[in-house]
Structure 1
Amino acid sequence: MSLMQPPSHGAGPRVEKRIWWSRMMIYRPACMKCFLTSCGTNRGSVVPFSGNGTAIVTGLAPISISLHKESRPKKLSVPGSQPACRYMRTLCLLLVVFFLGCDSSGMEPEPTPVRGDVIDVTTLATYTAEEVSQLVGAYGIPYSARYGISFYVLEYLTVDTHGEETTASGAVAVPQPVLRSLPMVSFQHGTVTRRSGAPSRGDTNEAVVGMFFAADGYLSVMPDLLGLGRSPGLHPYLIADVSASAIVDMMQAVVRWSATQPWSYSGEVYMAGYSAGGYTGMAAHRLLEAEYSSEFTIKASSLMAGPYDLSGTMLELMLREEPYPQPYYFPYVLFSYNEAYGLYSSPSDFLASPYDVTLPPLFDGMHGGGDINEAMPTIPIQIVHPDVRRSFLSDLNHPFRQRLRENDLTNWTPRAPTRLYHCAADELVPIENSIIAAQSLGEAATLLDPSPQSEHGDCAPLAIASTRAWFNSVSTSGQ
């Protein structure tokens, strides 16, 4: 016999369902007790359900069910066979789940996501040792890989320039076959404006450098940084603190993820980066030693051709009335600093026409440096409004100067051995950046010139190869 009685005149389907559910709860109150207590409902909790009434949990005693008068059935026929009882017990539980839910006050709360938490990991590709050797060799680095690699893309939580929670991405390369204990190399990429130029794309120069280290037996970590890869917004170009936090947060995410994988993280960290990556790598090194020394032990740091002296060497270079090979670097700094520090209300407040209109759309993450250079004069300072230029030149405490000074990396002392590789003929990032940094960083820092006649691009493979040899001589695990 059906448990559902014909609805009274005027009662619609919704009323019919509620009355039927109320009767079901009288028929099998024990199933409700089991469900509620299993959900963690506390004794004495009042739980509403879809009938006209409430259920009161009384611990191990029978549940007290209070129904409104109009919901109480006059008569209820119950099947008496054991199969029917089992059927009704199961049906009762399913209906409780569907209609009632449960009070979660006694359940363990979901952990609140924090910086460095992993959002997602996907496998992008795998390479044999021979394939890695070919990829690296194409960049002019003689190399024979010891291991194949698996290449992953990892998304994680971090914070933006305003301290708000956001997401970022990066690449992780892991040697194959899996080694028991892996030291970490955190490699920072150079200047990138197009989101797809970040390491997580997998086919960029920066990604190949990461493979280079992984195929030697390292857990290779390559942050995209904010505003690149899968991260929203404008990339905070050459802003030290937020770049460092994005790097460290990814390192934490990789360690947490590695705890669920066949390999383990050995505890050793090797920091590296070239050009803008030399700058962000130094910022991350500083942060790790200042605030994360209990989590990460930096064994060696190789920072190559970085613009560490922003308010001095690099600013003087940008102020010259001379052509510069990569003029887009200058507006990249202007836009990122304005976004982070609110120096001006709009581009028209500091850029001359037509650059106040033509340049901003090009920093949308879809255009490369070559695209932006085509819209630039060869002399970068010419994009700045003449009045702003005069004000800046006459005011040594101009807000932009102050922010550049805050982001200089020439005012700290590392504890871990640090090498500053830089070629004397560098036309984009003068070697004076590393000379000044080496003098101020103290005894732990050493300046090395792998090829005095090489310019910025040609210096990179030589400095990276030297870095690899040094790291391998220092590492005590995973090789």
Structure 2
Amino acid sequence: MTKQNWRLLLFFLLSVSLSLGCKKKQPVEADPPDTTESNLVSASVSGSYSSTQLKLLAQLGGYADAIPLVKYDVNFIKILYKTTYKGNEITASGSLVIPKNMTAVPSVISAQHGTTFLAAAAPSNVPAVAAFTGYELLSAAGFVTVIPDFIGYGVSKNVVHPYYDMQHSALAVTDMLKAVTAYLKREKIAFNERLFMIGYSEGGYVTMAAQKSIEANPIAGLSLRAVAAGAGGYDITSMLSTIISNGTYSDPAYLALILNSYNVTYGWNRPLTDFFKEPYAGRIPALLDGTKDAGTVSAQLSANPTVLLNPAFYANMRDANEEKVLKAAFVSNSFLNFVPVTATRLYHGTADETVFYQSSQVTFDKFKAGGATKVELIPVPGGTHESTVLPMMLSALPWFQSLDK
């Protein structure tokens, strides 16, 4: 049977199971929100996975090594909550995964997914196969697991995702955690105040943004214990400089995503031809419409920055006196002066071709120089951007469990 057929079969089996589960238990809708007390808008039961189904999903999703982690059946809850986008209140969404029939009271993991170009991949889109992040398995291992869609996905897909924007990244996580705690308390679902955080790729960056926010302004009812961040672009200036200086970059979709995002998020409203040559500039709006994956987007661009980028923009990015507003935005969204106080591990594959290993090495060195005493750099030898996420999960989970006491 082909991989595509396996996916179709899996989708059918899970869809049937989840639909049956939903018939047994009607969605639980939140009362009209009292914004003075809670930012929870609604919570609805998406369905349930048995441990057997989760193991099958792990096998077919490339997470076979994580199958031994699966111990519990889980319930999926779609959470809608209020957050802030460009100064205005909006509704965002995410997936809450709760282990069933545990004897112990579970702690909480906030898990941040990697860069996605597909609207269908928002974690709250269960049971769509594309929505599977792998972090759902952490719930089956015994943690209440919170997986934000991020602003610009799920119910907020009508706005442009603020990619690698520190403030919006943090808000998507912290506001969902506030809504989740309100929901769990309202439904009298027991949970432990211990909070752990994990994320990879963009999720590594978002995790660090949320960590910085929580360390400065703790969330009532939660106590941050440990953070695992993998392969994030924590120093955006350095990362973009390396990409532009190199002769090739195998994932040009990410350049289109970040430049378009900053252009919209900060209201610059510059024509895309300021950044990109034609025909690439004209293609980008349709490429970023949420229906195409990263590989499809990259295939319609050029891996050579001198071919892809407007020559003036390319030259200005290499000139310290030009593109000052854009470069200032890169600096303000980088973790140049942050010194974490929570136990933190930085994971990164040494052969990462998308977010270069030096991103974590330089960030780790800055943390240590700034006086951080609870940080570790965990290199994954030979790990690529795609292959390193599972080793990170398999290492981080027992570390979290050792601190979950």
Deviation per CA, 1:121-163: give whole Å up to 9, x if none: 2222211122222322442324232211011211111011x11
Amino acid of the structure 1 residue aligned with 2:383: S
Instruction: Indicate conservation of the 8 Å contact 1:193/1:369, yes or no.
Output: yes
After TM superposition, give the deviation of residue 386 of structure 1 in Å. 1.2
Q: 2:170 pairs with 244, 252, 273, which one?
A: 244
Q: Which residue of 2 aligns with 1:126?
A: 48
CA RMSD of aligned residues (A): 2.0
Name the CA shift for 1:308/1:239 in 2 (closer, same or farther; >3 Å): same
After TM superposition, give the deviation of residue 321 of structure 1 in Å. 4.7
Instruction: Indicate conservation of the 8 Å contact 1:153/1:172, yes or no.
Output: yes
The two structures have a TM-score, normalised by structure 1, of 0.72
Instruction: Provide the secondary structure at the position in 2 that maps to 1:131.
Output: helix
After TM superposition, give the deviation of residue 264 of structure 1 in Å. 2.0
1:286 paired to 2:212: yes
Instruction: Indicate conservation of the 8 Å contact 1:318/1:381, yes or no.
Output: no
1:355 paired to 2:280: yes
5 Å-filtered alignment, 1:139-154, equals 139-144=63-68, 145-154=70-79
Deviation per CA, 1:91-141: give whole Å up to 9, x if none: xxxxxxxxxxxxxxxxxxx87536962222222221112222232244232
Q: Which residue of 1 aligns with 2:92?
A: 168
Instruction: Provide the C-alpha distance between the structure 2 equivalents of 1:114 and 1:426, rounded to a whole number of angstroms.
Output: 45
After TM superposition, give the deviation of residue 355 of structure 1 in Å. 2.0
- The structure showing larger relative contact order (alpha-carbon pairs under 8 Å, at least 6 residues apart) is 2
Q: Which residue of 2 aligns with 1:447?
A: 377
Name the CA shift for 1:380/1:152 in 2 (closer, same or farther; >3 Å): farther
Runs of 5+ unmatched residues, structure 2: 1-31
Amino acid of the structure 2 residue aligned with 1:446: E
Q: 2:141 pairs with 216, 224, 230, which one?
A: 216
Instruction: Indicate conservation of the 8 Å contact 1:179/1:217, yes or no.
Output: no
Amino acid of the structure 1 residue aligned with 2:44: T
Instruction: Indicate conservation of the 8 Å contact 1:227/1:235, yes or no.
Output: yes
Deviation per CA, 1:312-348: give whole Å up to 9, x if none: 1x11232035222211000100000111123343223
5 Å-filtered alignment, 1:77-88, equals none
Deviation per CA, 1:162-189: give whole Å up to 9, x if none: 1111111111110012556321100000
Q: Which residue of 1 aligns with 2:159?
A: 233
Name the CA shift for 1:185/1:281 in 2 (closer, same or farther; >3 Å): same
Q: Which residue of 2 aligns with 1:113?
A: 35
Instruction: Provide the C-alpha distance between the structure 1 equivalents of 2:392 and 2:56, rounded to a whole number of angstroms.
Output: 19
Instruction: Provide the secondary structure at the position in 1 that maps to 2:196.
Output: strand
Kindly name which structure, 1 or 2, has the bigger radius of gyration based on alpha carbons.
1
Instruction: Provide the secondary structure at the position in 2 that maps to 1:458.
Output: coil
Q: Which residue of 2 aligns with 1:257?
A: 183
After TM superposition, give the deviation of residue 293 of structure 1 in Å. 5.3
Deviates more, 1:375-384 or 1:427-436: 375-384
Q: Which residue of 1 aligns with 2:387?
A: 458
Q: Which residue of 1 aligns with 2:4?
A: none
Q: Which residue of 1 aligns with 2:3?
A: none
Q: Which residue of 1 aligns with 2:320?
A: 395
Instruction: Provide the secondary structure at the position in 2 that maps to 1:318.
Output: helix
Runs of 5+ unmatched residues, structure 1: 1-109
Instruction: Provide the C-alpha distance between the structure 2 equivalents of 1:400 and 1:204, rounded to a whole number of angstroms.
Output: 37
The two structures have a TM-score, normalised by structure 2, of 0.85
Q: 1:429 pairs with 355, 359, 363, which one?
A: 355
Instruction: Provide the secondary structure at the position in 1 that maps to 2:341.
Output: coil
Q: Which residue of 2 aligns with 1:82?
A: none
Instruction: Indicate conservation of the 8 Å contact 2:115/2:202, yes or no.
Output: yes
1:469 paired to 2:398: yes
